[in-house]
Amino acid sequence: MAQTLPVRLTEYSHGAGCGCKLAPTILAEALAGFAPTHPDLLVGPDTGDDAAVWRFGDTGLVLTTDFFTPIVDDARAWGRIAATNAVSDVYAMGGTPLLALNLVAWNTEALGVDLLREVLAGGADAAAAAGFVVAGGHSIEDPEPKYGMAVLGTVDPTRLLTNSGFRAGDTLVLSKPLGVGIITTAAKRGMASEAQLADAIDAMTTLNADASRVALEAGATGATDITGFGLLGHLTRAVRSSGTDAVLDPGAVPLLAGTRELCEAGAVPGGTGRNLAWVGDAIDGFDDDLTRNLLADPQTSGGLLFGVSPDELDGALRALEAAGHRPAAVGRIESGSGRVRSARA
């Protein structure tokens, strides 16, 4: 339940959630030349996947970390969103989370300890819902508060979901609607309604555990969660890693209520432009600014995007809906070389 706060946490944030990520172009430049190899490293940085996977006997260990500045003013909600977002990378690999460590940067003088306890309680709420243990962590003093987790999980090495696993002929399923970047940006500017913000928080605190389970049951091999690089960014990275193309239907992509109108009114996060600059000429047929801004909107704790055979599509959508998700079939995978084109071009 939201509480009345003496400060607005988002006033201490230069960005919004995963919209604070380094631009993909900068990240690619910084990581150039870092390509570790080891026979037990099953998934490393070369494919831009959501987490690392290490072979440990007959199982795989999934390791990931994520943290960001306040995306909402309610401290407990922010904590839950950040933890849900961090564990999402384990689900995106088809794994099960086991253990986590808190990562905290905190302005004690301005924000005090009680708000920090609320943030940590939100993280504990997410951990309890997901069934993993928070066993400690690390904290520093910082004028700009930040919170997240490092998460360890397990995965069956023979049933991995990866960026490089998308197959020609797959239908693309998105498990959550887009729009949290636009709505939280609008809320920071006083443009979003309480109902719109509550809907965005509900989406961001919904675990991707069911989506991961459904993807695996449907025989998926390719998946990624949609976070700071937006749908266009994460999909482009996935098809590049898979050696395929994607055909995306903008009209089929689900949006949170009010997203389109707030985007038209100018509530566009700064990360949107960085995402579009990175995909560059790898996208075709997305000709109007509104469509591009919606599809490149930086998501925080967004849905899982995965590919299933057309025969498995209806069953996957029904299973997600039964679990309380708002999924949609948004396109298809074809043979190609890493491009994304609009189905309406």
Q: In the sheet that 52-56 helps form, which strands lie side by side, from edge to edge? A: 41-43, 52-56, 59-68, 146-155, 96-106, 133-141
Are 197 and 303 in contact by the 8 Å Cβ rule? The answer is: no
Q: Which residues pair with 328 in a beta bridge?
A: 174
Residue carrying the six token digits 């459904």: 214
Closest of 227, 234, 277, 206 to residue 21, by C-alpha: 227
Q: Which residues touch 302 (CB under 8 Å, ≥6 apart)?
A: 88, 176, 178, 180, 203, 225, 226, 227
DSSP 159: G
Which residue in the list 10, 16, 17, 18 is annotated as catalytic?
A: 18
Are 17 and 68 in contact by the 8 Å Cβ rule? The answer is: yes
Indicate if 18 belongs to the active site. yes
Closest of 205, 170, 144 to residue 10, by C-alpha: 144
Which strand (E) or helix (H) includes residue 253? none
d(CA 48, CA 28): 10
Residue carrying the six token digits 């399923």: 173
Write down the H helix ranges in 32-99.
75-92
d(CA 292, CA 297): 8
Q: Exposed, middle or buried by CB within 10 Å (0-12, 13-18, 19+), for 50?
A: buried
d(CA 39, CA 44): 11
How many other C-beta atoms lie within 10 A of the C-beta of residue 39?
6
Q: Which residues touch 345 (CB under 8 Å, ≥6 apart)?
A: 284, 285, 287
Residue carrying the six token digits 């940006």: 185
Query: Which amino acids are annotated catalytic?
Result: 18
